Amino acid sequence: MRWRWASSAVVVSAAALLTAHGLAEDPEVTPPASAAAAAVSATDATPSATPTRAEGGSPRARQIAEAIAGLELDRAERLLEGGEQGSLALRFERARLALHRADCERAAELLGAPALAESKEASSLLGFARGCAGATVAGLVVEDAEAGVWLRLQDASDRPLVPYLVAVAQRARAASARDLGVELPRPLRIELVSDLFSLSAVTGLPLSAAETTGTVAVARWGKITMLSPRATPQGYPWEDTLAHEISHLVLTAATRDRASLWLQEGLAKRSELRWREERPFDEPGDADETARAAAKTGRSVGVEKLGPSIAMLPSPDAARVAYAEVTSFVGYFIERHGEGALRLLILDLRGGAETDAAMRSVTGHPVAHWVAQWQQWVAQLPEPTPTRPSPRVARGSSVANARWGELLLARGHAAAAARSLEQALLAAPESASLRARAARALEVAGEPARADGALGALEQLTHPSGAWFALDARRAQRAAQPALAAGRRALGLAYDPLEEGVACDGQWVADSPPAPPPLPSEPRLRALCEAARAHTSPAP
């Protein structure tokens, strides 16, 4: 069965994901990708051929397929009521509707009927539905009816994340509705899974593609499936990832899944930053620069040459370039034609127009014309002025020093750990995670002044780190800067909420023997801290 995939993204390095599954060396010293660098997800896919179309399709079946494509699930349910129970086309649509309602067991039951055994489409979907059912059967379902958010957690230990997920989902959904002029039907369904294997099983994205490009989330089957932040060694920007995926679902509903891949991805990337206030490490112009550099060095992927999915591109770098190009192109289109032209383009797509016809209708020219104009514009961009130090990959003795320091700290040898970590820091002073570990070791060793120097300043870093933000929040609190401290805590939660220091107000049990430090007083954070400590591995 041929699927039309569209992809999305925010970032996590593929190496970090592989390490989480024991498939690669510890990448701890190599900085993870920044939120503008490389990660992937994939949006809702509609089969290019179904029994409905293969059999000619009744008007009812076509209406049901159209309703499902637009995420109008209640309408699809009503259209299915009273339909011919023996119709293979309607049985297939019932199964697709079940998948969109996150009921994989029901979908597998419908698709497993002997009458559909000869259908290649049904057989292919049956295998996926069974895998999905196996991965979700023991999940914990939590629904916030007032917020209109439904969640299923593969690991019940992620329960303390729910209020944080719901809060971001509400804000991001409202922002996408504002930008695109379409309200996403309720409830918004979110699956939180524990590993890449489950992500593949629940979405159908090939595991090899997820491993290659660093996929962390998929918007498909009318829902969002995300890795738990605990699935990667240093978390990932899960808040912006969720906003990205929500944008995919809103655009799918707005166009009845007719938006081209470049439009889906470009708008979703744009949505990552529009739901919230500006943050450190936001680089609005980074996409333009990456697109310019890719064109200059022959690494361009092409706005209209993305293949079936960005998630299936051959490398993380290709995915990074592809995201940059579509983000830059969509930004160029909106800047030139305005938000109103975007709304008109979406309306034409919803009415059944192909992307090229819709673009001609709105602007007078096809997509290829505007791609050529954008390419000329990108080529003329000036060389950027670096605002942050360039990341470096630590090797050899630096890697050994970092690992040895981490092991020494875990065993309570803080002074020796600090010496090792400070040596590693000489080779990679821009590494936020190394700075955080060195500062922790020096604090425990009773050298607060040197700890403050090791922690450094935000401007010295090339990438975010939850642990660094947690320690900087503590530093701000000591300096009687409560607003800065609160901001740093929020940033830590946005990147790595289940890292112990982030969840526990900058305190680690291993750093405070013999008695553990007190739990946070705020109830939501207290629950998060307890969950983080429950998953903290004891020193070997």
What phi, psi does 194 have (nearest 5°)?
-95, -20
pLDDT computed for residue 380 by the predictor: 94
pLDDT for residue 340 is more than 70:
yes
Q: How confident is the model at residue 309 (pLDDT cuts 50, 70, 90)?
A: confident
Q: How confident is the model at residue 52 (pLDDT cuts 50, 70, 90)?
A: very low
Q: How confident is the model at residue 19 (pLDDT cuts 50, 70, 90)?
A: very low
- Give the count of beta carbons closer than 10 Å to the beta carbon of residue 338: 11
Over range 326-347, report the average pLDDT.
96
The residue among 440, 449, 441, 431 whose CA lies nearest residue 470 is 440
Over range 13-20, report the average pLDDT.
35
- pLDDT per position as a tens digit, 369-414: 999 999 999 999 988 776 666 665 545 567 788 888 889 988 889 9
Q: Which CATH architecture has domain 397-534?
A: Alpha Horseshoe (1.25)
Whether the Cβ atoms of residue 139 and residue 154 lie closer than 8 Å to each other: yes
Of residues 184 and 283, which shows the higher confidence score?
A: 184
The full length of the chain comes to 540
Of residues 1 and 65, which shows the higher confidence score?
A: 65
| Percent of the chain residues past pLDDT 90, beyond the cut | 71
pLDDT computed for residue 391 by the predictor: 60
CATH class (in words) of the domain with range 3-46+138-379: mainly alpha
CA distance 109 to 92: 11
Q: How confident is the model at residue 312 (pLDDT cuts 50, 70, 90)?
A: confident
The residue among 364, 372, 350, 247 whose CA lies nearest residue 303 is 372
Give kind and range of the element (H or E) at residue 203.
Answer: helix 196-203
pLDDT computed for residue 59 by the predictor: 85
Of residues 251 and 395, which shows the higher confidence score?
A: 251
- Strands 188-193 and 217-220: what pairing? unpaired
Q: What is the 3-state secondary structure (H, E, C) of 426-472?
A: HHCCCCHHHHHHHHHHHHHCCCHHHHHHHHCCHHHCCCCCHHHHHHH
Please say whether the dihedral angle defined by the alpha carbons of residues 115, 119, 123 and 128, taken in this order, is positive or negative: negative
Domain(s) labelled CATH 1.10.390.10 in the chain stretch across: 3-46+138-379
- pLDDT per position as a tens digit, 447-466: 999 999 999 999 999 999 99
- pLDDT per position as a tens digit, 150-205: 999 999 999 999 999 999 999 999 999 999 988 999 999 999 999 999 999 999 99
Whether the Cβ atoms of residue 224 and residue 246 lie closer than 8 Å to each other: yes
Over range 277-298, report the average pLDDT.
92
Give the highest mean pLDDT range of 55-64, 102-111, 204-213.
102-111
539: burial class by Cβ within 10 Å (0-12, 13-18, 19+)? exposed
pLDDT for residue 31 is more than 70:
no
Q: How confident is the model at residue 514 (pLDDT cuts 50, 70, 90)?
A: confident
3-state secondary structure of 386: coil
Q: How confident is the model at residue 482 (pLDDT cuts 50, 70, 90)?
A: very high
Q: Locate tokens 């609005």: which residue? A: 284
Give kind and range of the element (H or E) at residue 192.
Answer: strand 188-193
Whether the Cβ atoms of residue 518 and residue 510 lie closer than 8 Å to each other: no
374: burial class by Cβ within 10 Å (0-12, 13-18, 19+)? buried
